């Protein structure tokens, strides 16, 4: 009987979701409205719905429950009641590797195509291992924290003491299982910043010098601003974003981090901002552009199902317009750091090509930081230097 209870719970949560809100936010509202669901029900419903969307558009012609059984088998190392009931051949292979599991699924469902999991015919950025990238979509990425080198041993010890399996990825980066309740383990929130590993690696391209004036022009709640500050605490910063609410979060994070020497402004970079910015000239600009986010869909797998490919071209237009509006405030000889968390060439290399063609910029270096080997997001970064006009 219990399996029918699982099936009904999954079908109800699936029917309630239309892809408009991020899935994690939808689930918070859904569980509030369905108070009869106990913690075990909520845990299973979350696991099922997340696994389901990780299948993207693969096996679209199957009923939802059959797709769920396949998805749940591919995404988990322990058997669920639904998989056991609907896809019994999965039983003795539940701990097999993902490539072996895919062979088992294909034997049962010959129509299964890995490329349908990420059903976008758009070209991927150079350097992405497509197979590895697709396989990584079946796994939830880790949680990463950035810490000061000197604090790392103590923080690591504290996490281990609390029974958290910790991986040390660099002198300043720890990887933890997603869902780790950091605030319950490390009492001093100033000691760490939650930031994806690939996002941390973009910092290798910033190279700020003391007393330089940098502009983080799409700052949101300040992830990259905090990163540049940790690389060079004497840097001066202007942090701006379209959204006031994000800048409010940035202010709180800066306060907590004890950073005082910065300015923040709400600026819409699709407008002419000469009135506000005419006297500004920067030694470096961080442009972490609004994008499809396709490099982060391992965390938001509902996008594999709901994202519409035509939107990539809209993002590319937005990226070009924003980049065009900021280059003029950069000093000659200084860098524009263009970043996205997209894996699409149209939002990455093509934007760089457009900028090189239309502006006095020279490409110093670029990289698609493929996070899929480290259970992290994927990001694109390019360092472009402004030439004398």
Ligand X SMILES: C[S@@+](CC[C@H](N)C(=O)[O-])C[C@H]1O[C@@H](n2cnc3c(N)ncnc32)[C@H](O)[C@@H]1O
Q: Would the CA dihedral through 37, 39, 40, 46 be positive or negative?
A: positive
User: Residue 321 Cβ, how far from ligand X at the closest point, in Å?
Assistant: 8
18 labeled part of a ligand binding site:
no
Give the residue, chosen from 132, 168, 268, 281, that forms a contact with ligand X under the rule CB under 6 A. 268
Give the residue, chosen from 290, 298, 301, 371, that forms a contact with ligand X under the rule CB under 6 A. 290
Task: Decide: helix, strand or coil at residue 130.
Answer: helix
Residue 262 in tokens: 């910065």
**Are 206 and 284 a contacting pair, CB within 8 Å?**
yes
Q: Work out whether 156 is an interface residue with ligand X (CB under 6 A).
A: no
User: Residue 318 Cβ, how far from ligand X at the closest point, in Å?
Assistant: 6
Q: Work out whether 326 is an interface residue with ligand X (CB under 6 A).
A: no
Query: Nearest residue by C-beta to ligand X?
Result: 223
Looking at 103-111, 132-140, 268-276, 362-370, which segment touches ligand X (CB under 6 A)?
268-276
The residue among 56 and 295 lying less far from ligand X, judged by its C-beta, is: 295
User: Residue 195 Cβ, how far from ligand X at the closest point, in Å?
Assistant: 8
**Cα gap 245→220, rounded to integer Å:** 9
Give the residue, chosen from 86, 143, 220, 237, that forms a contact with ligand X under the rule CB under 6 A. 220
**Cα gap 275→269, rounded to integer Å:** 13
Q: Work out whether 241 is an interface residue with ligand X (CB under 6 A).
A: yes
Residues touching ligand X: how many (CB under 6 A)?
17
Cα→Cα distances 18→14, 37, 55, 70, 244, Å: 8, 21, 17, 22, 28
Please name the residues in contact with 282: beta carbons below 8 A apart, sequence gap of 6 or more.
213, 214, 215, 238, 329, 330, 331, 334
Q: Work out whether 244 is an interface residue with ligand X (CB under 6 A).
A: no
Residue 24 in tokens: 């994690």
Looking at 66-74, 116-124, 236-244, 327-335, which segment touches ligand X (CB under 6 A)?
236-244
Q: Work out whether 223 is an interface residue with ligand X (CB under 6 A).
A: yes
The residue among 219 and 235 lying less far from ligand X, judged by its C-beta, is: 219
**Cα gap 91→80, rounded to integer Å:** 10
Residue 180 in tokens: 């780790």
The residue among 117, 338, 152 whose CA lies nearest residue 230 is 152
187 labeled part of a ligand binding site:
no
Q: Work out whether 265 is an interface residue with ligand X (CB under 6 A).
A: no
Cα→Cα distances 252→82, 144, 178, 258, Å: 44, 20, 24, 10
**Are 258 and 190 a contacting pair, CB within 8 Å?**
yes
User: Residue 177 Cβ, how far from ligand X at the closest point, in Å?
Assistant: 22
User: Residue 268 Cβ, how far from ligand X at the closest point, in Å?
Assistant: 5
241 labeled part of a ligand binding site:
yes
Segment 293-322, which members bind ligand X (CB under 6 A)? Answer: 322
Residue 90: other Cβ atoms inside 10 A: 22
Catalytic site includes residue 291: no
Give binding residues for S-adenosyl-L-methionine as ranges: 241, 268, 288
Q: Looking at the annotation, which residues are catalytic?
A: 341
Give binding residues as ranges: 241, 268, 288
Residues that bind ligand X (CB under 6 A): 218-221, 223-224, 241-243, 246, 267-270, 288, 290, 322
């Amino acid at each position: 009987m219990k399996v029918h209870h699982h099936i009904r719970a999954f079908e109800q949560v699936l029917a309630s979701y239309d892809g408009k809100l991020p899935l994690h936010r939808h689930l918070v509202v859904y569980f509030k409205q369905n108070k009869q669901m106990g913690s075990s029900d909520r845990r299973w419903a979350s696991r099922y719905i997340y696994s389901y969307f990780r299948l993207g558009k693969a096996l679209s012609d199957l009923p939802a429950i059959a797709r769920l059984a396949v998805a749940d088998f591919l995404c988990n190392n322990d058997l669920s009641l639904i998989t056991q009931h609907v896809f019994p051949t999965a039983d003795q292979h539940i701990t097999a590797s993902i490539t072996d599991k895919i062979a088992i699924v294909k034997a049962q469902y010959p129509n299964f195509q890995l490329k349908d999991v990420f059903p976008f015919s758009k070209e991927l950025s150079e350097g992405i291992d497509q197979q590895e990238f697709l396989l990584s979509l079946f796994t939830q990425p880790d949680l990463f924290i950035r810490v000061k080198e000197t604090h790392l041993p103590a923080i690591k010890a504290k996490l281990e003491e609390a029974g958290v399996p910790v991986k040390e990825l660099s002198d300043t980066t720890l990887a933890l299982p997603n869902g780790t309740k950091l605030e319950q383990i490390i009492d001093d929130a100033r000691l760490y910043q939650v930031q994806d590993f690939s996002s941390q690696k973009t910092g290798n391209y910033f190279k700020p010098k003391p007393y330089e004036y940098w502009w983080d022009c799409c700052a949101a709640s300040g992830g990259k601003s905090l990163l540049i500050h940790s690389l060079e605490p004497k840097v001066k910063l202007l942090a701006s974003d379209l959204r006031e609410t994000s800048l409010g979060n940035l202010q709180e994070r800066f306060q907590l981090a004890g950073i005082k020497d910065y300015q923040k402004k709400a600026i819409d970079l699709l407008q002419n901002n000469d009135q506000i910015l005419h006297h500004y000239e920067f030694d470096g600009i961080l442009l972490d552009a609004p994008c499809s986010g396709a490099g982060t869909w391992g965390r938001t797998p509902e996008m594999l199902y709901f994202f519409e490919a035509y939107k990539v071209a809209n993002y590319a237009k937005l990226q070009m317009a924003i980049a065009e509006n900021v280059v003029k405030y950069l000093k000659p000889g200084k860098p524009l750091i263009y970043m996205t968390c997209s894996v699409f060439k149209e939002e990455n290399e093509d934007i760089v090509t457009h900028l090189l063609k239309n502006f006095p910029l020279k490409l110093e270096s670029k990289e698609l930081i493929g996070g899929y080997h480290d259970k992290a997001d994927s990001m694109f970064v390019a360092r472009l230097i402004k030439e004398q006009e």
